[in-house]
Amino acid sequence: MSSPVVAPDMLALQRLYHWERTAPDRVILTQPMGGQTVRDFTWREVMDESRRMAAYLRGLGFEPGSRIAILSKNCAHWLMADFAIWMAGYVSVPLYPTLAASTIQQILEHSEARLLFVGKLDGWEAMKPGVPAGLACVSLPLSPPTDYPAWNDLIRATPPLAGEPVRDGDELSTIMYTSGTTGAPKGVMHSFATFAWSIQSGLSRVPIDKEARMLSYLPLSHVAERTLVEQSLLAVSLHVYFADSLDTFTADLQRARPTVFFSVPRLWVKFQQGVQARMPADKLARLLRIPILRGIVRRKILSALGLDQCQFAAGGAAPMPPELLRWYASLGLPIVEVYGMTENCGVSHATLPGVQRPGTVGLPYEGVESRIDPNNGEIQMKSPGLMLGYYREPELTRQAFTEDGWLHTGDKGQVDAEGYLRITGRVKDLFKTSKGKYVAPAPIEDRLVMHAHIEACVVTGANLGQPLGIVMLNPVAIELARDPNQRVAIETSLAAHLKGINAALDPHEQLDCLVVVTTPWSVENGFVTPTFKVKRNRIEEAYAGSFEGWVGTRRAVVWAPA
């Protein structure tokens, strides 16, 4: 695929030099250093460290275009490493900071990485065996203890790279490996121009300027965070705050007071459940109906969440349940639903700020075209932000596009009379029951996951008389279920939830039972991707042998063995 035509001054390196010249003393990154310590970085400091590391990388003598990998949680030096890689003439390969050793090895070998930056990580000892013997490594600040050369030592000993080396728009800038929902991760190639075009298209709809604040906590190795945080930083010079840890997330959010906040539905649900744990849903609804109290209650709740100054809230990476969207709108925080994928820089569709369309992912961004395949209902799209292809996978690249150049999304959808896109499931997720009826699991899962005790779920049942739901309890509910009385209460509540959902479904879609799982689905055991998407194939593979037995109990709620 050819890269789009983008003004050179909008490309990544040119933006870096622009801010270095025009706003050297502007604070752009705020990094918790552990404990109560926080460090701010200005453009001058960011560029000085990035230039020094770029000079060090160049001195290693790798060929132009060599791949350099980054394995780290989000932090200021993740971005600096990326900038240094680009300035040195190389291609960055970000890895999710929760990958298993085998996947790390697969990606590092497949990408032919010449060096690995090891940064802030929680499970380094388990990951380390995945680093191929002999691969050069550098430890970023905040990394676990290693015997690798340390970033701070290297930049102290290396003069900064001089001048303003630039890269053409059509040059490969990064290889982003997919999270592997449907199989082995694929290396999505993006140029400097595809990213530059995509952020310009996104900013035509998202109100972000230099006064904006963001909290960066979703993996920078994921296209959504990479585009929204890194590319927005380059485009407008906003202020990026980083989260320290899961335990400090609330404090990190309070520090940032983001004006723009993006999250996955799973976290939006957790926020809601946290509010409802302190204030029952019916009481909150009553208070919000009282005009004199409505504003006070809204401000108090949003302030407690750290979102009282949020001007643009968005959700994506998975469907946002309509009830959840309506709940946040009632608090005065309407959530924009966004739709995209690694292959299109995350820029495809979004609802309009202030215009709620629950159940849809909105309208195409500027410059994006989309269509529905009349044969199988697949959403297909094209834009100047499409990937160059999959790294070292010409056949998979060919299969990713139609003969006339449209990207296969793999999602099924419908477009309403106003042009709003509704996602109805995955093309390959549709399954047929033994009665010959097709079931689309995604809309049912959207309703199931709204129960306060459910962390994740899958609707399945190919060749069964009726589908069934497998639900994983959240940590609080798992702990409660150890008490027999609480277990009965959870079961009763889930049975009522199932009854309510079935009442709204067509007869062939109604779930035979809910199977409750108390063993967490995790990245480590292979049940979810690093972006917390459930791997449907893995779930079905693990539990299929028990389906008939569970259905045979004739109970509404069945507890799977721990």
Residue 248 in domain? no
pLDDT of residue 271: 87
> Using an 8 Å Cβ cutoff, are 315 and 263 in contact?
yes
Total tally of structural domains belonging to the chain: 3
Domain-terminating residue out of 191, 226, 252: 191
Whether residue 375 is found in the same domain as residue 446: no
Whether residue 16 is found in the same domain as residue 127: yes
Per-residue pLDDT tens digits of the chain, which is 562 residues long: 556 778 899 999 999 999 999 999 999 999 999 878 999 999 999 999 999 999 999 999 999 999 999 999 999 999 999 999 999 999 999 999 988 898 899 999 999 999 999 999 998 999 999 999 999 999 999 999 999 999 999 999 999 999 999 999 999 999 999 876 556 789 999 999 999 999 999 998 888 999 999 999 989 999 999 999 999 999 999 999 999 988 888 899 999 999 999 988 878 888 888 888 888 888 998 998 898 898 999 999 999 999 999 999 998 866 677 888 889 999 999 999 999 999 999 999 999 888 878 889 999 999 999 999 998 899 999 999 999 999 999 999 999 999 999 999 999 899 999 999 998 878 877 788 877 777 888 889 888 988 989 988 999 988 888 999 999 998 889 999 999 999 999 999 999 999 999 988 878 889 999 999 988 888 888 888 877 778 888 888 888 888 888 988 889 999 998 7
Whether residue 401 is found in the same domain as residue 512: no
Residue 161 in domain? yes
pLDDT of residue 125: 95
Whether residue 394 is found in the same domain as residue 453: no
pLDDT of residue 544: 86
Whether residue 120 is found in the same domain as residue 160: yes
Residue 135 in domain? yes
> Using an 8 Å Cβ cutoff, are 167 and 86 in contact?
yes
Whether residue 281 is found in the same domain as residue 394: yes
Residue 198: closest CA among 216, 215, 173: 173
Range of the domain at 484: 431-559
pLDDT of residue 158: 98
Enumerate residues 6+ apart whose C-beta is below 8 A from 355. none
Residue 524 in domain? yes
pLDDT of residue 42: 98
Residue 1 in domain? no
Complete DSSP assignment for 417-481 = TTS-EEEEEETTT-EE-TTS-EE-HHHHHHHHTTSTTEEEEEEE-TTSSS-EEEEEEPHHHHHHT
Q: In CATH, what number is assigned to the domain containing residue 458? A: 3.30.300.30
Whether residue 389 is found in the same domain as residue 456: no
Whether residue 303 is found in the same domain as residue 412: yes
Enumerate residues 6+ apart whose C-beta is below 8 A from 334. 313, 325, 328, 353, 354, 356
| 209 alpha carbon, distance to own chain's centre | 22
Whether residue 419 is found in the same domain as residue 545: no
**What are 368's two structure tokens?**
């994006």
pLDDT of residue 365: 95
∠ CA 459-461-465, rounded to 5°: 130
> How far is the C-alpha of 460 from the C-alpha of 76, rounded, in Å?
42
Whether residue 320 is found in the same domain as residue 345: yes
Domain-terminating residue out of 426, 459, 494: 426
**What are 422's two structure tokens?**
């509704």
Q: In CATH, what number is assigned to the domain containing residue 372? A: 3.40.50.12780
pLDDT of residue 266: 77
Domain-terminating residue out of 141, 166, 191: 191
Amino acid at 213: R
pLDDT of residue 2: 59
> How far is the C-alpha of 28 from the C-alpha of 76, rounded, in Å?
10
3-state SS assignment for residue 456 = strand
Residue 386: closest CA among 367, 361, 360, 412: 367
Task: At 407, give phi and psi (nearest 5°).
Answer: -80, 130
Host H or E run for residue 146 = none
Residue 230 in domain? no
3-state SS assignment for residue 207 = coil
Residue 184 in domain? yes
Residue 143 in domain? yes
> Using an 8 Å Cβ cutoff, are 427 and 411 in contact?
yes
Whether residue 392 is found in the same domain as residue 441: no
> How far is the C-alpha of 310 from the C-alpha of 317, rounded, in Å?
20
Residue 459: closest CA among 473, 476, 472, 478: 472
> Using an 8 Å Cβ cutoff, are 204 and 365 in contact?
yes
DSSP state of 458: E
pLDDT of residue 561: 87
Whether residue 419 is found in the same domain as residue 450: no
